[in-house]
Amino acid sequence: MSASEDLEDLPGVGPATAEKLKENGFDSYQGIAVASPGELSNTADIGESSAADIINAARDAADIGGFETGATVLERREQIGKLTWGVDEVDDLLGGGVETQSITEVYGEFGAGKSQVTHQLAVNVQLPAEHGGLEGSAIFIDSEDTFRPERIEQMVEGQDDEVLEDTMELHGVAEEGEADATDEAMFDALVESVLDKIHVAKAFNSNHQILLAEKAQEIASETQEEEFPVRLLAVDSLTAHFRAEYVGRGELAERQQKLNKHLHDLMRVGDLNNTAVVVTNQVASNPDSFFGDPTQPIGGNILGHTSTFRIYLRKSKGDKRIVKLVDAPNLPDGEGVMRVEEGGLMNE
Ligand SMILES: Nc1ncnc2c1ncn2[C@@H]1O[C@H](COP(=O)(O)OP(=O)(O)OP(=O)(O)O)[C@@H](O)[C@H]1O
Ligand SMILES: [Mg+2]
């Protein structure tokens, strides 16, 4: 049983019942979820309707989903959107941009530009579709206190005039045909509108971060019928708190378990709301044995299997950055180059 699975969290399960369940091998949510009410009722000396309640709660918690038809899966996949980085080489590398309904992991050493990427995507997600945006809003879970509204403003300013003007119309800060990229009042109104569409929450520790991901699901689903539905969930950084809090070797398993749950929650937000999930991850700067290979992202295998797209950012000369796609499904590995400038991520 994982540490997060306390049987006493199930409705009507006290210490005695929990003990009986465990003695009889019902020691995980998953095991209980697939039991029959009769079986459970006999095992734990409880009524069948209480047993049914317990099973239902365990099913929800274990997230043993039902089956869906191939047609439903296809329909959902047809909704997948691609969010531009605003960098041609990177968009090409990704087959159009960051995908919704997927987790994209951006990893690299300090100063590589991971936080720049999350800021840029929070702006780009709000652009008109014809400019590579998703006409949506963003949720930004900030665990390192890196979110800077000033940076967002610079990245709005860094857009081409045509993009800026079409975005002004999309955001309703200018009438159709009236938008003017050089109009200060319009520009200010656009910046305000863009900032308004980024829901930022600071995560104070890993447990708080996990809670925020659950909260993100609520916010994202609430917005789906509105204008600018949530189309991006960024977590910057995914791993910093986990890394700082679970330091001993003995805590590695628990850390991975929690990270795994967290990623699962994030994936759910992506799947259920057609949202792109972008997480950042550090690489260890010193090759200590705990974190292993310094060029490998923190989090080990679990993260490797969950993130569908993995992007390795590497510093190059000056503002130049190498963007490398690593182990993506259905896409060849490859590299692109970008610059991190005052106006944001730019073509080389
Ligand atoms: N306003 C700006 N104008 C130009 N370049 C900037 C600006 N702000 C940040 N940068 C560039 O971005 C770099 C910082 O990148 P960023 O903060 O995204 O790194 P990171 O990968 O998130 O690092 P960490 O692991 O420390 O969080 C700076 O070193 C600088 O090169
Ligand atoms: Mg950062």
What is the residue extent of each domain of the chain?
7-62, 76-347
pLDDT at 341: 98
Average pLDDT in the chain: 89
> For the residues 245-252, what does the mean pLDDT come to?
82
Q: Please report which confidence band the pLDDT of residue 287 belongs to, taking 50, 70 and 90 as the band edges.
A: very low
Count of CB atoms situated within 10 Å of the CB of 216 = 25
Give the pairing of strands 320-326 and 230-236.
unpaired
Ligand 2 centroid to Cα of residue 229, in Å, is 26
- Residue 173, pLDDT score: 98
User: Is pLDDT above 80 for 288?
Assistant: no
DSSP state of 9: G
Dist. CA 118–CA 85, nearest whole Å? 10
Q: Return the ∠ at Cα 239 (arms to 261 and 278), rounded to 5°.
A: 80
Residue range 7-16: average pLDDT?
90
Nearest CA to ligand 1 atom 2: 342
Pocket test for ligand 1, best of 115, 119, 235, 323 (most atoms within 8 A of CB): 115
State yes or no: pLDDT of 148 exceeds 80: yes
| For the CA of 158, the nearest ligand | 1
User: Can you tell me which residue has the tokens 């299997």?
Assistant: 305
Residues comprising the chain, all counted: 348
pLDDT, tens digit, 9 for 90 and up, residues 187-240: 999 999 999 999 999 999 999 999 999 999 999 999 999 999 999 999 999 999
CATH 3.40.50.300 fits 76-347, yes or no: yes
d(CA 282, CA 297): 6
Report yes or no: 28 and 5 within 8 Å, Cβ to Cβ. Answer: yes
Rounded to the nearest angstrom, the distance between the alpha carbon of 101 and the centre of ligand 2 is 23
Ligand sitting nearest the alpha carbon of 345: 1
Instruction: Please tell me the distance from the alpha carbon of residue 65 to that of residue 150, in angstroms, as a whole number.
Output: 42
Between the CA of 322 and the centroid of ligand 1 the distance, in Å, is 14
> CATH says 7-62 is which class?
mainly alpha
pLDDT, residue 268, reads 86
CA separation for the pair 292, 227 (Å, rounded): 45
CB of 148 within 6 A of ligand 1: the answer is: no
161-170 vs 184-196: helix axis angle to the nearest 10? Answer: 60
Question: Residues annotated in the binding site for ATP, as ranges?
Answer: 108-115
Q: What is the pLDDT of residues 309-343, one digit of tens each?
A: 999 999 999 999 999 998 787 888 899 999 999 99
Q: In whole angstroms, what is the distance from residue 205 CA to residue 184 CA? A: 40
pLDDT tens digits for range 61-112: 776 556 778 888 888 889 999 999 999 999 999 999 999 999 999 999 999 9
- Cβ atoms 100, 270 nearer than 8 A: yes
266 Cα: distance to centroid of ligand 2 (angstroms): 19
Q: Which ligand is nearest to the CA of 146?
A: 2
Instruction: Give the annotated binding-site residues.
Output: 108-115
Q: How confident is the model at residue 38 (pLDDT cuts 50, 70, 90)?
A: confident
Residue type, 286: N
Give the Å distance between the CA of 117 and the centre of ligand 1: 9
**CA–CA gap between residue 249 and residue 111 (Å, rounded):** 28
Ligand 1 atom at minimum distance from 342 CA: 3
Radius of gyration of the chain from its Cα atoms, rounded to whole angstroms: 23
